[in-house]
Amino acid sequence: MLRYRNDIDGLRAVAVVPIVLYHAGVSQISGGFIGVDVFFVISGFLITSIMLGDIEAGRFSVVAFWGKRIVRIFPALFVMLAGVMIAGCLFLFPGDLRALAFSTAAAAAFVSNIWFEFTTGYFGPAAETLPLLHTWSLGVEDQFYIVHPLLIAVVHRFAPDRLKPVLVVTALASFALGLWLCLSMPVHGFYGLPGRVWELALGALVAAGAAPLLASQRARDMAALGGAGLIALGYLLIRPTSLFPVPWGALPAFGTALIIAYGDGAITARLLAAGPVRFIGKISYSLYLWHWPIITFWRLRHDMVLTPADTAIVVTLSFAAAVLSYRFVERPTIDGFRGFRPGRLVAGGLVGVGLIVATAGVVHLNAENWRTYPPEVRKVASYADYTATADHRAQFLDGTCFVSLGETYQRDACLKLSTTKPNMLVFGDSHAAQYWKAIEERFPAWNVMQATGAACRGLWNVRAESHCLGFMPWILDDWLVKNRIDAIILAGRWLDGEDDLVKDTVSRLVARGVPLTVIGPTVEYEGEMPAILADAMMRGDPELAAKKRVMERRDRDAEMAPIVKAAGAVWVSAWDAECPAGRCRLFDPDGGPMHFDYGHLTLAGARLVAKAIPEPARK
């Protein structure tokens, strides 16, 4: 039987506290999110230890293991999901509530990581507005809990002496796959189980006795301290832009494995076993469950950027919710269901899943009816579903001339040169693609082509994702050299620190003798503008939306303008077009919001900006 270790409870606190603080706006902990990786290694160790202990005692059962996991995980999770759905019905607009219902069903069915893997695309909602985004890690663990016992059972049945090699091969294969995914499809590498198995397998290897024996206490102390140092380095050095979880996730993962392997009785145990630290570890599951929804709804009701006072409030509320959940949900259910037959526990768990999924379906079907809205608010809020509209399809040409991760740019279809009209190329990322249809309408005498991709800024030597590399360098270095066109319009979500790249690209294109127009950064908001504006309208003051405007984008516009003009291109300020005389428009000419997400313009909004684009001189 697995012996209880105080220091592992403390290690859970080391995992969860940085997560909560990082999510609550404490930016000094740049790698706070890696606490999830610490949890993964702990989970791999604990569940494997339990199963190996049961095997040794002759009582191992896959169904019994699943029953214990259901009692441990489901009650607190289902209470949190119910609470979040109630809050959603009270505060969210229909489009966001429907999305919440889907994610609730996914979380209950152990597939929320897959749900977010395929729905947090380029035009998906901002992460800070998704109350259940944090359940992706529970999806990874739940899927591992389904597969891992089956693997253990098979190995125990047919090759009981081969468990360590099997786990080593599994971990290495997952690490290699994770590295490939992080380089080519980072979203899938982050959310998917295949690229995360190595972390759980690392904990399983420690449970299986794969860590080398260290005889002296000094050596064990040094190894455990080294593990703590690796975790600390991860929190300090890893950033959201780091290649993660592979290879940077190795820091917290191996650090955790070292503490688990050598920390029992070591110097780290005395620190981790302190009463307050262990208490936080005990409530860590409920704290993880509740902190993110609390922070998300606070942001949605107040401001996306949390002040120190906001941080103190949401952290306090998170701990309060965690204590209540632990005291009145976790402990009573664990104690109350002790002794129940495993088959009944599994059956009861599946019934609970069905009830949550069915409730989420009811919420989804009635999303329009939970609250009443004035017609103008309902119209603005409906733009949360803008990506499903005909205007969006016409605006972006998704999957052909505007491509995202995993899609291939259709060169022949999108770069058809005309022999009767002058040829113009709209080039860049999604902030260029948003203008294509409006530019085509603005200049009907031109053949307007589009070469755009998500996060593909049209610059030489800029860091880009795999789908960009399939066509952007070819256009710059090959197609534009071999095919003379009459004008280029370059636009993008221009980032700080890229002025030299902008200057180099503009200078090189201008040197080729092609008239070049550069469109500056658009207005952006901290969150999804349709929800922000609809909420402000419900409060009776649409101008409240201005408080969530990102003014740094105006500064970026002012910084870029002289650089582009000095390099010989025409500069068009999208900011000035949307904000004449310093007063930004909130509504597009059709009465909808100017933007359908944090910063992409609706088609009507793009038409408004396109009016500021002068017609290029024809040669």
What SS3 class is residue 491? strand
Q: How far apart are CA 29 and CA 19, in angstroms?
A: 9
Helix (H) or strand (E) holding 487: strand 487-491
pLDDT at 241: 85
Burial of 619 (0-12, 13-18, 19+ CB in 10 A): exposed
Q: Which of 502, 507, 520, 581 is nearest to 556 (CA)?
A: 520
* 503: amino acid identity, one letter: K
CA of residue 38 relative to chain centroid, distance: 18
Sites in the chain below the pLDDT cut of 70: 1-2, 121-124, 619
Q: Which two tokens stand for residue 303?
A: 């401001």
First vs last C-alpha separation in the chain: 83
Spell out the domain ranges in the chain. 6-365, 378-610
pLDDT single digits (tens) 251-276: 999 999 999 999 998 999 999 999 99
414 CB-near residues (< 8 Å, 6+ apart): 397, 400, 401, 449, 450, 451
- CB of 490 closer than 8 Å to CB of 520: no
Q: How far apart are CA 352 and CA 221, in angstroms?
A: 45
The CA distances from residue 288 to 17, 283, 387, 412, 500, in Å, are 9, 9, 32, 49, 43
* DSSP β-ladder status, 570-572 and 487-491: unpaired
pLDDT at 119: 83
Residues in the chain: 619
pLDDT at 185: 82
Query: What is the CATH architecture of 378-610?
Result: 3-Layer(aba) Sandwich (3.40)
Cβ-count burial 175-195 (b if 16+ within 10 Å, e if not): bebbbebbeebbbbbbbbbeb
pTM of the model: 0.89
pLDDT at 187: 87
What residue spans of 367-470 are helical by DSSP H? 375-381, 390-396, 411-414, 430-433, 436-442, 466-469
pLDDT single digits (tens) 235-251: 999 998 899 999 999 99
